[in-house]
Protein backbone atom coordinates (compact mmCIF):
# COMPACT_ATOMS: atom_id res chain seq x y z
CA UNK A 1 0.00 0.00 0.00
CA UNK A 2 1.45 3.34 -1.05
CA UNK A 3 0.94 6.18 1.40
CA UNK A 4 0.64 9.69 0.08
CA UNK A 5 1.74 12.74 1.95
CA UNK A 6 -1.04 14.91 3.34
CA UNK A 7 -1.73 18.17 1.53
CA UNK A 8 -0.17 21.33 2.98
CA UNK A 9 -3.60 22.37 4.32
CA UNK A 10 -4.09 18.98 6.04
CA UNK A 11 -0.57 19.19 7.47
CA UNK A 12 -1.18 22.68 8.79
CA UNK A 13 -4.47 21.59 10.37
CA UNK A 14 -2.61 18.74 12.08
CA UNK A 15 0.19 21.01 13.34
CA UNK A 16 -2.23 23.63 14.69
CA UNK A 17 -4.44 21.00 16.33
CA UNK A 18 -1.48 19.32 18.03
CA UNK A 19 -0.08 22.70 19.07
CA UNK A 20 -3.39 23.60 20.73
CA UNK A 21 -3.49 20.23 22.53
CA UNK A 22 0.10 20.75 23.68
CA UNK A 23 -0.68 24.22 25.05
CA UNK A 24 -3.72 22.95 26.96
CA UNK A 25 -1.74 20.02 28.37
CA UNK A 26 1.09 22.26 29.53
CA UNK A 27 -1.33 24.76 31.07
CA UNK A 28 -3.00 21.98 33.06
CA UNK A 29 0.35 20.61 34.27
CA UNK A 30 2.02 23.88 35.21
CA UNK A 31 -1.00 26.08 36.02
CA UNK A 32 0.62 28.73 33.81
CA UNK A 33 -0.53 30.31 30.55
CA UNK A 34 1.43 29.37 27.47
CA UNK A 35 2.93 32.90 27.42
CA UNK A 36 4.10 32.59 31.05
CA UNK A 37 5.56 29.15 30.38
CA UNK A 38 7.27 30.51 27.26
CA UNK A 39 8.98 33.15 29.42
CA UNK A 40 10.31 30.40 31.70
CA UNK A 41 11.49 28.33 28.74
CA UNK A 42 13.22 31.35 27.20
CA UNK A 43 14.97 32.03 30.51
CA UNK A 44 15.94 28.36 30.73
CA UNK A 45 17.73 28.57 27.38
CA UNK A 46 18.92 32.20 27.43
CA UNK A 47 19.86 32.97 31.01
CA UNK A 48 19.71 35.69 32.27
CA UNK A 49 17.62 37.73 29.84
CA UNK A 50 16.53 41.34 29.70
CA UNK A 51 12.93 42.52 29.53
CA UNK A 52 13.57 43.81 26.00
CA UNK A 53 14.87 40.41 24.84
CA UNK A 54 11.88 38.61 26.33
CA UNK A 55 9.40 41.04 24.77
CA UNK A 56 11.03 40.51 21.37
CA UNK A 57 10.86 36.72 21.63
CA UNK A 58 7.29 36.71 22.93
CA UNK A 59 5.98 39.08 20.28
CA UNK A 60 3.72 40.81 22.81
CA UNK A 61 3.51 44.36 24.15
CA UNK A 62 5.80 45.71 26.85
CA UNK A 63 2.84 45.88 29.25
CA UNK A 64 1.97 42.20 28.62
CA UNK A 65 5.58 41.19 29.29
CA UNK A 66 5.58 43.28 32.46
CA UNK A 67 2.39 41.58 33.71
CA UNK A 68 3.84 38.13 32.97
CA UNK A 69 7.05 38.97 34.83
CA UNK A 70 5.11 40.29 37.84
CA UNK A 71 3.05 37.08 37.95
CA UNK A 72 6.12 34.85 37.66
CA UNK A 73 8.02 36.85 40.28
CA UNK A 74 5.05 36.77 42.69
CA UNK A 75 4.88 32.98 42.30
CA UNK A 76 8.61 32.61 42.96
CA UNK A 77 9.62 31.40 39.49
CA UNK A 78 11.93 34.29 38.55
CA UNK A 79 14.17 36.92 40.12
CA UNK A 80 15.05 40.34 38.76
CA UNK A 81 18.23 42.32 39.29
CA UNK A 82 19.76 45.45 37.83
CA UNK A 83 22.50 44.73 35.28
CA UNK A 84 25.99 45.56 36.52
CA UNK A 85 26.99 46.85 33.08
CA UNK A 86 23.92 49.05 32.48
CA UNK A 87 21.81 50.16 35.43
CA UNK A 88 18.85 50.84 33.08
CA UNK A 89 18.60 47.12 32.22
CA UNK A 90 16.90 44.54 34.39
CA UNK A 91 18.23 40.98 34.18
CA UNK A 92 15.69 38.22 34.75
CA UNK A 93 16.71 34.72 35.88
CA UNK A 94 14.95 31.51 36.86
CA UNK A 95 14.80 30.50 40.50
CA UNK A 96 15.17 26.84 41.50
CA UNK A 97 11.36 26.71 41.62
CA UNK A 98 11.21 28.07 38.05
CA UNK A 99 13.74 25.44 36.96
CA UNK A 100 11.50 22.72 38.45
CA UNK A 101 8.47 23.94 36.46
CA UNK A 102 10.51 23.89 33.24
CA UNK A 103 11.71 20.35 33.99
CA UNK A 104 8.13 19.24 34.65
CA UNK A 105 6.99 20.75 31.35
CA UNK A 106 9.84 19.19 29.36
CA UNK A 107 9.50 15.69 30.81
CA UNK A 108 5.73 15.40 31.06
CA UNK A 109 3.91 12.73 29.05
CA UNK A 110 2.36 14.07 25.85
CA UNK A 111 -1.09 13.26 27.22
CA UNK A 112 -2.35 12.24 30.67
CA UNK A 113 -3.06 8.66 29.58
CA UNK A 114 -0.16 8.24 27.16
CA UNK A 115 1.58 4.90 27.17
CA UNK A 116 4.47 3.77 25.06
CA UNK A 117 3.42 1.66 22.09
CA UNK A 118 4.36 -2.02 22.49
CA UNK A 119 6.70 -1.79 19.50
CA UNK A 120 8.60 1.15 21.00
CA UNK A 121 12.15 0.14 21.96
CA UNK A 122 13.08 0.85 25.58
CA UNK A 123 9.40 1.48 26.34
CA UNK A 124 9.85 5.26 26.10
CA UNK A 125 6.75 7.33 26.78
CA UNK A 126 6.47 10.24 24.34
CA UNK A 127 7.08 13.48 26.21
CA UNK A 128 6.01 17.06 25.71
CA UNK A 129 9.60 17.79 24.67
CA UNK A 130 9.50 15.17 21.90
CA UNK A 131 6.04 16.29 20.79
CA UNK A 132 7.28 19.88 20.56
CA UNK A 133 10.20 18.82 18.40
CA UNK A 134 7.90 16.89 16.09
CA UNK A 135 5.54 19.86 15.76
CA UNK A 136 8.52 22.07 14.94
CA UNK A 137 9.70 19.63 12.27
CA UNK A 138 6.22 19.52 10.75
CA UNK A 139 6.11 23.32 10.65
CA UNK A 140 9.49 23.43 8.87
CA UNK A 141 8.23 20.83 6.37
CA UNK A 142 5.19 22.99 5.66
CA UNK A 143 7.35 26.05 5.19
CA UNK A 144 9.49 24.22 2.64
CA UNK A 145 6.57 22.74 0.68
CA UNK A 146 4.25 25.75 0.57
Q: Kindly report the CATH number assigned to the domain that includes residue 69.
A: 1.10.10.10
Please indicate, yes or no, if residue 47 is contained in any of the structural domains: yes
Say what the pTM is.
0.68
Residues 119 and 138 in one domain: yes
Strand partners, 79: 93
Residues 44 and 20 in one domain: no
Q: Quick check: is 123 in a domain?
A: yes
Q: Please write the tens of the pLDDT for every residue from 16-64.
A: 787 788 788 888 888 999 899 999 999 998 877 888 889 988 889 989 9
Q: What is the pLDDT of residue 121?
A: 39
> Which pLDDT score is estimated for 109?
64
Segments forming the whole domain that contains residue 44: 32-95
Q: Is residue 45 domain-resident?
A: yes
CA distance 77 to 134: 28
Q: How far apart are CA 121 and CA 63, in angstroms?
A: 47
In a domain, 102, yes or no: no
Distance from CA of residue 116 to its chain's centroid?
A: 23
Q: How far apart are CA 77 and CA 36, in angstroms?
A: 10
Q: What is the total count of domains within the chain?
A: 2
Q: Is the pLDDT of residue 123 over 60?
A: no
DSSP 134: H
C-alpha 31/C-alpha 13 separation (Å) is: 26
Amino acid sequence: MVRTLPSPAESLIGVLTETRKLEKRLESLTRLSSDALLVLLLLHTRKPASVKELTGHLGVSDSRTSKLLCLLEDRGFITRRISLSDRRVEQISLTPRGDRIVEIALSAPASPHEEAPPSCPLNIVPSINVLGILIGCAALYLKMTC
